[in-house]
Amino acid sequence: MSSTETVTPIQNAVNIGPVLTQRLRDVGVTTLDEVRDRGAIEVWQLIADTAEGNECAHMLLALEGALRGQRWTSIPRSERDALLVEVGLKDASELRAPKKR
Distance of CA 35 to the CA centre of its chain: 9
pTM of the model: 0.84
Question: What is the greatest pairwise CA distance in the chain?
Answer: 59
| Contact (CB, 8 A) for 66 and 13 | yes
Position 101, amino acid:
R
| Contact (CB, 8 A) for 75 and 65 | yes
DSSP SS3 for 89: coil
Could you report the per-residue pLDDT of 1-10, keeping only the tens digit for each?
554 567 889 9
Confidence of residue 95 (pLDDT cuts 50, 70, 90): low
